[in-house]
Structure 1
Amino acid sequence: MERTDIALARVNFLRKVKKITNWDKVDFLDETWLNANHTVSKAWTDDTTQSTTKVPEGKDNLKEPHYIIMDNAPYHSVQKHKPPTSANRKLEIIAWLQEKGIEANETMLKNELLRLVGLHKPSTPTYVLDDIAQEKGHNVIRLPPYHCQYNPIELIWAQVKGYAARSNITPPFTANKMLQLLNTAVKNVSAEDWKKEVTKCRKLMEEDWERDVRFDNICDQEFIINLKDCSSDFESDSEIDLGCTPLE
């Protein structure tokens, strides 16, 4: 969590949430699962229309501009005009460069093309989902990696799953039974529960920002170390002259 890029993502996130003045206009997104027991993670399909399920597109239920705080799940993070990588073919890299008006051709080696990509790709990626939200007047704020503690839904999921686990102690262990427990657990989540968890997360964000500021100030200070005297026992036993002079 303190790796440079992740710490920077946290700072960027905390700066953005500090500017939020009305938390009634904040929505959190998250996802989870609740299984009766173990099940398969894949299913067969022959890629025909009959073997697939069409899910209708959801409607925007936010009538006014909101802040949408979400994680970086792959389905949230489809990039627009994603820069090519070494996994792309030369022709794909050339096409990407030429679309940006950068001179590139097939006589160039792949490493030369990738170097041009590195020089001209945007410093920050743009995401399809963010643009969709912005078209509706909303502002997407992405959680930094490994910081799910900033999302109150995680705490609500813990409450829901805790209820389900405590109630699911006798057979049958079936999906229908778990679904009933899930419905009951969700109904037991009150507006006061949500308020409490959002307040807890906001407090944590404020504390982490203050902690990062304090740490930055400490690291920026000069440290003066004085070595006054060396141990006489050490000097008498050692055959090495360490030249122990006071340092300032």
Structure 2
Amino acid sequence: MASLGKRGKPLQGQSREIIYNVYKYFVTEADRFKKNVDENVSSYFKKVQERVANATGISRRTLNNILNEVSTETHPTEIKFSTPKKGRPKKQFRLNMDDFDYDVVRRMVYDFHLRFNELPTIKSLKAKLSEAINYNGSEKTLRKILHEMGFRFTKMEDNRKVLMEKQDVSLKRMEYLDKIRKFRESGKNIVYMDESYIHTSHTKAKSWSDDKKKGVKKPISKGQRLIIVHAGNEKGFVPGAFLMYKSTDTTGDYHNEMNNHNYEKWLVNQLIPNIPSDSVLVIDNAPYHNKYVERPPNSNTIKQEMINWLNKHDIPVDPKLTKPQIYDIICQHKERYTEFSVDKILAEHGHTVLRLPPYHPDFNPIENIWSQLKGYVASKNVGMNLTTVKTLLTEKVNMIGTEEWKKVCDHAIKCENEHRSIQHGLDNYTDRLVINTADSDSELFESTDSEMEVIEN
């Protein structure tokens, strides 16, 4: 049984060793005073376990667990205390979900509200998603996915709970939709870009074979990985912007490979020279897109640095205010003075950055272009080596022209318009429910399984 502290957290091995050393010291002390003439003093020192519990703040039960571990050792003086559960592998549930699957999750929640006219539950959502995208995760994992996407259960006045998006999530989406509509109306050249990857083993799950049943056998290993970067719009790919290189990262996350340095290098050398002036570049929220030119203070910044930041931007502040009061002033102005490195580079060349709202790949046409590229590779990848995959990718990039790009851009615009109408429908729906926004059941989404870790492919 794990030894727990007062807050129910397992005690580290070093802490347990210290507690045991305190226990041994008190035992020695009790032996020294057991013949004390003062019976009250002697009886006090005999209460070893009670004294240890009071001195260390742990329970008697926890102390007994530690002592039981010692009693099972052959050489108690050489015991090495381990941390409970340390080294024990976490349960991992591998989800075969891509960006479009997350979009299906969001739309399914909307469908419950607007089409099915019923309140979605985790159980009912899981059943629908199993049919729609072959979702085979647990209810706990689905709860975590919804939480990360910005959904919360909120109580109504009749104590029923409704699953709705957080206000700031829907606000980001509507801000994006308003901005991109204005850019289009003003005739701006809008360019979509993205990064992706493909393994050398990428092929179809099934293939044709001859009478001898010798088909293309897919290797167990995923093989080497290629990082691909490109940009385009309804006029086609941006000439000269295609970047393709072998990944050397071993963590399994291609975002580690395309870091801020590599991305800015691609921007300056391959994208900016090849797009018209005064263009709008649509990007997602990858970490390397959001590197600060100057990181603004956060709540942990020391008080004087907060004051210095405010003074730098000519924002009045009374040094006698408390740190929380000063930080509140910073929060009121932070967004206006926050600048990202990518935005600065593009602004210096006369361009504008527009960031996609999280989990909305349907707004980015290049996501559908990636699907076409990967589908082409999968259908023709017989060699399954780096050279073959590079050749196939280059072939397909050269094959995709204005017609294909126009279709995916039109589809993105269609998705934008659908979301605009959906939002108004959701507003009317929530008004009918008369939600009591003061009573939020956010605890439903707190992790109840500390050993569950979701891994996305």
Question: Structure 1 length as normaliser, TM-score?
Answer: 0.69
Q: In structure 2, do the counterparts of structure 1 residues 104 and 74 end up closer, same or farther at CA, with 3 Å as the change threshold?
A: farther
TM-superposition CA deviations, 1:174-196 (whole Å, max 9, x none): 21121111111212212211111
Of the three residues 249, 252, 262, the one matched with 1:41 is 249
Residue 160 of structure 1 aligns with which residue?
A: 373
Work out the CA distance in 2 between the residues paired with 1:135 and 1:162.
38
Residue 122 of structure 1 aligns with which residue?
A: 335
CA contact (8 A) 1:29 1:153 kept: yes
Residue identity matched to 1:191? T
Residue 151 of structure 1 aligns with which residue?
A: 364
**2:415 maps to 1:204:** yes
Residue 174 of structure 2 aligns with which residue?
A: 11
Work out the CA distance in 1 between the residues paired with 2:190 and 2:335.
28
Map 1:56-75 → 2, pairs under 5 A: 57-58=268-269, 59-75=272-288
Work out the CA distance in 1 between the residues paired with 2:277 and 2:311.
40
Q: CA offset at residue 23 of structure 1? A: 6.5
Work out the CA distance in 1 between the residues paired with 2:329 and 2:293.
19
CA contact (8 A) 1:143 1:150 kept: yes
Work out the CA distance in 1 between the residues paired with 2:197 and 2:432.
47
Work out the CA distance in 2 between the residues paired with 1:22 and 1:108.
46
Q: CA offset at residue 136 of structure 1? A: 3.4
Residue 30 of structure 1 aligns with which residue?
A: 194
Residue identity matched to 1:13? Y
Q: In structure 2, do the counterparts of structure 1 residues 214 and 103 end up closer, same or farther at CA, with 3 Å as the change threshold?
A: closer
Q: Which has the higher strand share?
A: 2
CA contact (8 A) 1:26 1:66 kept: yes
Q: CA offset at residue 110 of structure 1? A: 6.0
Residue 402 of structure 2 aligns with which residue?
A: 191
Map 1:205-224 → 2, pairs under 5 A: 205-220=416-431
Match of 2:282, SS? strand
Of the three residues 307, 312, 319, the one matched with 1:99 is 312
Of the three residues 8, 12, 21, the one matched with 2:185 is 21
Residue identity matched to 2:173? R
CA contact (8 A) 2:224 2:386 kept: no
Match of 2:196, SS? coil
CA contact (8 A) 1:97 1:104 kept: no
Q: In structure 2, do the counterparts of structure 1 residues 72 and 23 end up closer, same or farther at CA, with 3 Å as the change threshold?
A: farther
In percent, how many aligned pairs have the same letter? 30
Radius of gyration: which is bigger? 2
Structure 2 runs not aligned, ≥5 long: 1-148, 150-164, 201-222, 226-247, 252-260, 435-457
Structure 1 runs not aligned, ≥5 long: 44-51, 224-248
Residue identity matched to 1:156? I
**2:337 maps to 1:133:** no
Match of 2:373, SS? helix
Work out the CA distance in 1 between the residues paired with 2:332 and 2:411.
42
Residue identity matched to 1:6? V
TM-superposition CA deviations, 1:148-199 (whole Å, max 9, x none): 110000000000011112222x4x4321121111111212212211111001
Match of 1:30, SS? strand
CA contact (8 A) 2:297 2:306 kept: yes
Q: CA offset at residue 218 of structure 1? A: 4.0
Residue 233 of structure 1 aligns with which residue?
A: none
Work out the CA distance in 2 between the residues paired with 1:65 and 1:115.
36
Q: CA offset at residue 84 of structure 1? A: 1.7
Number of aligned residue pairs: give it: 212
Q: CA offset at residue 140 of structure 1? A: 2.4
Of the three residues 376, 389, 397, the one matched with 1:178 is 389
Of the three residues 261, 277, 290, the one matched with 1:77 is 290
Q: In structure 2, do the counterparts of structure 1 residues 161 and 123 end up closer, same or farther at CA, with 3 Å as the change threshold?
A: same
Answer 1 or 2: higher relative contact order, Cα 8 Å, separation at least 6. 1
Q: In structure 2, do the counterparts of structure 1 residues 85 and 15 end up closer, same or farther at CA, with 3 Å as the change threshold?
A: same
Residue identity matched to 2:191? D
Work out the CA distance in 2 between the residues paired with 1:197 and 1:129.
26
Q: CA offset at residue 29 of structure 1? A: 1.4
Match of 1:134, SS? helix
Q: CA offset at residue 38 of structure 1? A: 4.4
Q: In structure 2, do the counterparts of structure 1 residues 136 and 81 end up closer, same or farther at CA, with 3 Å as the change threshold?
A: same
TM-superposition CA deviations, 1:76-109 (whole Å, max 9, x none): 222343312245456644532442345577x987
CA contact (8 A) 1:90 1:110 kept: yes
Match of 2:369, SS? helix
Q: CA offset at residue 24 of structure 1? A: 7.5
Q: CA offset at residue 120 of structure 1? A: 4.4
